[in-house]
Amino acid sequence: MSKSLLELTPVEAVACCAPVTREPLSAEAAERIVPLVKAIADPVRLRLLSLVASHADGEACVCDLNDAFDLSQPTISHHLKLLHQAGLLDREKRGVWVYYRINTAALGDLAGLLGGVTA
Partner DNA sequence: TCGTCACATCGACATCCATCTATGTCCGGA
Partner DNA sequence: TCCGGACATAGATGGATGTCGATGTGACGA
Residues that bind DNA (CB under 7 A): 38, 41-42, 44, 61-63, 66, 70-82, 91, 95-98
Q: Which is nearer to a second copy, 20 or 98 (CB)?
A: 20
Of 114, 116, 117, 115, the C-alpha closest to 34 is 114
Sheet of 97-102, strand order? 59-61, 97-102, 89-94
* Distance of closest approach, residue 7 Cβ to a second copy, in angstroms: 20
- Vertex 69 angle, CA 68 and 71, to 5°: 150
Binding mask 41-80 for a second copy (x = CB under 8 A): xxxx-xx-xxx-xx-------------x------------
Q: Bridge partners of 15?
A: none
* Distance of closest approach, residue 83 Cβ to a second copy, in angstroms: 12
- Vertex 60 angle, CA 90 and 44, to 5°: 80
Q: Does 102 bind a second copy (CB under 8 A)?
A: yes
Of 104, 99, 110, the C-alpha closest to 40 is 110
Using CB under 8 A as the criterion, which residues of the chain lie in contact with a second copy when the complex forms?
Answer: 20-25, 27, 30-31, 33-34, 37-38, 40-44, 46-47, 49-51, 53-54, 68, 102, 104, 107-108, 110-112, 114-118
